[in-house]
A = this chain, B = another copy of it.
């Protein structure tokens, strides 16, 4: 501020008044102060104080892929709640489309002086983050474990959830189950498909790969996939949707065509109980991905030392939709 005053040729008090928007300052003088402040990068006083002190910024960062998906938004909301309880600001950044963009976004958050990071990783190798953690920015991974890095995580029991739900469908007499999943580059999707395969193997049933639709990214692709599966010469008698986005598309198509095939969907979602046909969801505590992850992070930030932990959230199969619909 003293530099700004010197450069603008005004008193320190005048600089302060301009910065604070006091309107009694002469217009030309105020402009001179702003010019000087701009040239000297005065804005960055927070960055300057952070440089000096090395102290806590009372901020944590969250990296997620897509805010418009209820799944990620609920995680963020859980994190925000815990951050508030710790009087800590939360800033959220968006991972890009690929692993490189994701790492860039993580390093960017680190440079913005956060006390710790929560990351929903989309893929790639995370070993390059070791140095950031060692330099004092703890990280907790949500929904997926980090790759090439031993760090805390909170994940869902994808394998057992998908396996047990499939065993239930098999016990009800279904031997052909149409499966809709997002890209198998996502470990969560791979785990879910592996669970389905395990159920078929355990029941001694053959698995037919034509019943698997991959790269189902949203409701529209899910509708197309369901139509393809229904048009097979021996169509499935049940569907397994890998996430909430695909189940919304599948529900829409099955409803529009008044089909009665069974449907099991990973992820519960808002209004699921008002859908016009019965189905089942693999529910888990979505919000807990955020709250438990944030609590782990604050333990790390407070300096607590413990071996990296992985918290695994279990799933349960729950009825949804209107049962007596006709």
Interface residues of chain A, those whose CB is within 8 Å of chain B, are 18-21, 34, 37-48, 50-54, 59, 66-70, 73-74, 76-77, 80, 84, 89-94, 96, 105, 108-113, 127-128, 130-131, 134-137, 248, 251-252, 255, 270-271, 274-276, 322, 325-326
Contact = CB atoms under 8 A, between A and B. Distances in A.
Contacts of A54: 38-41, 43-44
11 contacts: A19-B131, A21-B134, A34-B135, A37-B135, A39-B54, A41-B52, A42-B135, A43-B54, A92-B93, A112-B113, A326-B326
A135 B270 contact: no
A271 B276 contact: no
Chain multiplicity (copies): 2
Contacts of A73: 67-70, 73
Contacts of A69: 73
B50 A41 contact: yes
A50 B47 CA distance: 8
Nearest to A273: B252
Nearest to A149: B21
Contacts of A38: 54, 135-136
Given A19-B131, A76-B68, A274-B252, A47 B51 contact: yes
Contact of A47 (B91, B92, B111): B111
